[in-house]
Amino acid sequence: MWLQQRLKGLPGLLSSSWARRLLIGLLLFLIFYWYLGAERRWSFFSGSAMPGGAAGQCLLAEIHRWKSLPGSAPVHQTEYSPRVNVHLEGNRAEVQATMLWFRKGAVLSVRCASPTESQSARDCVSIREEFIAHRSRPNVFLQRIHINNPSDRTVSLDVSSDNMPSGSKFSTSVEKLEDREIMLSSGRVPVENNRMVLVVVVTKKLSSRIQVPAKVEHTENILSVVWTSEPIETSKLEETFSALREGAKKELGELLRASLEELVADHQQAWMDLFISGVEMRKITDSHTPSSRTVNTTLYYILSSSPAPLLDRRLSGEERVRLESSLNYADHCFSGHATMHAENLWPERVSSAAQILQLVTLWTLTLQKRGCKVLVAAGAHGNMQAMALSFGGLQFTENHLQFQADPDVLHNSYALRGIHYNQDLISLAVLLDTEGKPFLHVSVKQQEQPVKLYACEAGCLNEPVELTSEVKGHTFPVMVTQPITPLLYISTDLRHLQDLRHTLHLKAILAHEEHMANRYPGLPFLFWFSVASLITLFHLFLFKLIYNEYCGPGAKPLFRSKQCGWGGGGVLSVVLMLRSDSSRWPTGLRKSALTPRVLFEVQSTVSKNAIYYTKSTDRLIKPFLTSLLVRGVSQEGLLMPCSEAQDPL
């Protein structure tokens, strides 16, 4: 009943002018809100997805630590995992977050747990873990565990390793190493041709339980050394296993005697040296260009899956010189078009180890087929150089380094940093000025023995410019030649660049904006401005019509209210019903399109024998009603009160 009464009162409410204005305003708001797009709409209403409660507050504080930070061998799946699991005892509410730290080469994990009966973040126990596969020591895996107990009670944690399935080919035993106990795990991985790969893992032994007193922080560092063999015959299993066992134990002993902080610093420095080179996305204006996150993630996956022979302490001096020289001048790498828009090489999401290995294989094959075999053979450092060269379309030739990007895709702003050229590091950036026109910025970081470098833009019509180590760098305009040639040349030979202009045989050299205008002429600006103006004026005119219809003076109500009754005065709705006897209709109505059952409502004031109209009515209906009164037609004739008439509307 309540709902029915509210619905009956709705027509009277909407008949007022302020209600109509409010309704139109709400309608316009919904239209503009719809154009915001689905993504913004959901983000506007959804808010943060961070779990609540005391554990969630603790997790937010721990994640803030991360936000405050500065800045191709065959793979065989084994049944062993060196990771140690740490879990709090008892019933607790627990939340977790994980981060991949590119520049430090580590995976960070933080868990916050609070007792179910506690609602305070001060009672949360946080467990921070850091997982490191050492960059310069390929056999070393480190797991660092930091437990913080700010509560007023002692907490206990269970320590366990991942359970191996029944029938596993791995076995574990406890052995002595000097005055320590260690865990030695060994197993076999079958490969093709009935051969075996032996795996030996030695790690520090931990107790099965850790107790952390109240208001105390506890730290555990778990070192593991993993040694593997080449595919061998089954007849050599015992001999190979003995050698792997002794080698792994010896390396673990050296690590336990060394400083752990120096070991971690050595690993982090190796990763920072790798990321001296790379790709930096400044501004992205299209959807098929990879984001900074996608680029950095892909680079990290490729580098972490590649060996780094230049970081191996056992590498001979002669071999080191050969690998470093290949980095300083990579002959004919990278040939072909740039890989910037190759979506299969820069995937937005990689969700499994199998996809990472597939991505590594695809990149290795692409680089080798495009003239980068020497760089790929140099390991992680060479892969970083080759991927940076391929991203923007940089290519080494016999006498120079050329930038052969597609002029049509220079609306994106990005930088290629740390390109090795003759023992110098070159950084090349594609930037946009205030008018959106692209230009090239080149800077050089010279090494111990500076060598002169020269550069010239497309066509080399202007005299080559000497590149210096100035902080502001050097800028070059983007010129497009016909036929298309590289946009920039860099060389150590000035005479080579001066002679190059005579060998290109160009028909024309255009500025980038002229090239784009000729390639995509389109319609003039005045035409589009006129179309936009007409569309705007039309919508303004349409809005004015709607406003005058429902909100202006003399506007008709959206809903008509029927109040029946005769006599006594007052405002009521008079329902005029035309009977089927058309002989009694006025002449004007006979010519109209009204059917015999159409009715018409007018607001009128009834007083005695006269009807006074409060609003103008139809030019055909009003004379008809007047003629009825003049002729003295009774209300049982053509004019009936609404309580007796059936409303055909």
Out of 556, 579, 605, pick the residue that ends a domain.
556
Residues 231, 132 share a domain: yes
Residue 186: CB atoms within 10 A of its CB come to 20
**565 pLDDT more than 50:** no
Three-state secondary-structure class, residue 90 = coil
**Tell me, what's the pLDDT at 499?**
92
Residue 544 lies in a domain: yes
For the beta sheet containing 180-190, the strands, ordered from the edge strand earlier in sequence to the opposite edge, are 92-101, 106-115, 125-133, 140-149, 216-228, 196-204, 180-190, 171-177
Mean pLDDT computed over 425-429? 93
What's the rounded Cα separation, in Å, for the pair 330 and 575? 94
Tokens 């058309």 sit at which residue?
Answer: 582
Residues 103, 140 share a domain: yes
Contact 386, 333 (CB under 8 A): yes
3-state SS, 385-435, equals HHHHHHHHCEEECCCCEEECCCHHHCCCEEEEEEEEECCEEEEEEEEECCC
**647 pLDDT more than 50:** no
Out of 233, 253, 271, pick the residue that ends a domain.
271
Question: Would you list the DSSP string of 59-75?
Answer: HHHHHHHHHT-------
DSSP 462: S
With cut-offs at 50, 70 and 90, classify the pLDDT of residue 345.
very high
- Predicted confidence (pLDDT) per residue in 117-166, tens digit: 666 767 789 999 999 999 999 999 999 999 999 988 889 898 888 766 65
DSSP 36: T
**323 pLDDT more than 60:** yes
**Mean pLDDT lowest among 14-28, 189-203, 281-295, 551-565:** 551-565
With cut-offs at 50, 70 and 90, classify the pLDDT of residue 365.
very high
Out of 237, 271, 305, pick the residue that ends a domain.
271
**Mean pLDDT lowest among 220-234, 420-434, 546-560:** 546-560
Task: State which of 161-165, 277-281, 328-332, 449-453 shows the largest mean pLDDT.
Answer: 277-281
Partners of 148 in beta bridges: 126, 217
Please report, for residues 187, 463, 592, the alpha-carbon distance to residue 241 in angstroms, rounded to integers and kept in the order given. Answer: 9, 66, 107
What are the phi and psi torsion angles at 633 (to 5°)? -70, 135
Residues 537, 505 share a domain: no
- Predicted confidence (pLDDT) per residue in 58-100, tens digit: 656 655 555 444 434 456 677 778 888 888 887 778 889 999 9
Partners of 159 in beta bridges: 86
Domain total in the chain: 4
**103 pLDDT more than 50:** yes
Q: What share of the chain in percent tops pLDDT 90?
A: 35
- Helix or strand run (H / E) with residue 359: helix 353-369
- The residues, any chain, with a CB within 8 Å of residue 64's CB and separated by 6 or more, are none
Please report, for residues 566, 584, 605, 628, the alpha-carbon distance to residue 610 in angstroms, rounded to integers and kept in the order given. Answer: 12, 21, 9, 11
Cα–chain center distance at 417: 23
Residues 288, 216 share a domain: no
Mean pLDDT computed over 182-187? 90
Residue 396 lies in a domain: yes
**305 pLDDT more than 50:** yes
Mean pLDDT computed over 400-423? 89
Contact 466, 454 (CB under 8 A): yes
Tokens 């506690």 sit at which residue?
Answer: 118
- CA end-to-end distance (rounded Å), the chain: 24
Please indicate whether residue 53 or residue 281 has the higher confidence score (pLDDT). 281
Contact 426, 509 (CB under 8 A): no
**Tell me, what's the pLDDT at 522?**
62
- Own/partner contacts of 151-154, CB < 8 Å, gap of 24 or more, are 151/122, 151/123, 151/124, 151/125, 151/214, 151/215, 152/123, 152/214, 152/215, 153/214, 154/211, 154/212, 154/213, 154/214
Residues 208, 132 share a domain: yes
User: What is the number of residues in the chain?
Assistant: 649
- Predicted confidence (pLDDT) per residue in 471-517, tens digit: 788 999 998 888 888 999 999 999 999 999 889 888 877 776 665 65
Positive or negative: CA dihedral 482, 484, 487, 490: negative
Closest CA to 136 of 279, 272, 277, 321: 272
Contact 425, 435 (CB under 8 A): no
Residue 537 lies in a domain: yes
**Mean pLDDT lowest among 117-131, 247-261, 395-409, 507-521:** 507-521
**589 pLDDT more than 80:** no
**353 pLDDT more than 90:** no
- In 219-352, which residue ranges form alpha helices assigned H by DSSP? 237-257, 260-274, 292-304, 317-328
Contact 306, 367 (CB under 8 A): no
Mean pLDDT computed over 558-583? 42
- Per the structure, the complete domain to which residue 533 belongs is given by 525-556
Cα angle value 636/639/640 (rounded, 5°): 70
**Tell me, what's the pLDDT at 263?**
94
Residue 115: CB atoms within 10 A of its CB come to 20
Rg (CA), the chain: 41
Residues 317, 250 share a domain: no
Three-state secondary-structure class, residue 563 = coil
Residues 549, 617 share a domain: no
Contact 247, 170 (CB under 8 A): no
- Helix or strand run (H / E) with residue 161: strand 155-161
Closest CA to 603 of 613, 589, 588: 613
Residues 356, 241 share a domain: no
What's the rounded Cα separation, in Å, for the pair 421 and 452? 11
Taking the complete model, does pTM exceed 0.95, yes or no? Answer: no
**360 pLDDT more than 80:** yes
Q: Which two tokens stand for residue 374?
A: 């020497």
- The residues, any chain, with a CB within 8 Å of residue 552's CB and separated by 6 or more, are none
Mean pLDDT computed over 429-443? 90
Residue 42 lies in a domain: no
Q: Which two tokens stand for residue 485?
A: 């040639």
What's the rounded Cα separation, in Å, for the pair 172 and 26? 71
The four Cα atoms 319, 322, 325, 330 give a dihedral, to 10 degrees, of -120
With cut-offs at 50, 70 and 90, classify the pLDDT of residue 530.
confident
Residues 441, 398 share a domain: yes
Residue 49 lies in a domain: no
**Tell me, what's the pLDDT at 252?**
93
Residue 57 lies in a domain: no
Phi-psi region of 422 (alpha: psi -120 to 50; beta: other; left: phi over 0): left
Residue 51 lies in a domain: no
Residues 347, 205 share a domain: no
Closest CA to 486 of 470, 494, 497, 495: 497
Please indicate whether residue 508 or residue 284 has the higher confidence score (pLDDT). 284
Please indicate whether residue 516 or residue 39 has the higher confidence score (pLDDT). 516
Q: Which two tokens stand for residue 625?
A: 């009603």
Residues 447, 357 share a domain: yes
Task: State which of 375-384, 462-471, 569-578 shows the largest mean pLDDT.
Answer: 375-384
Positive or negative: CA dihedral 415, 416, 421, 424: positive
Contact 418, 388 (CB under 8 A): yes
Residues 535, 506 share a domain: no
Closest CA to 640 of 558, 587, 583, 574: 574
Task: State which of 49-58, 123-132, 317-326, 509-518 shows the largest mean pLDDT.
Answer: 123-132
Residue 189 lies in a domain: yes
Closest CA to 129 of 181, 87, 73, 165: 87
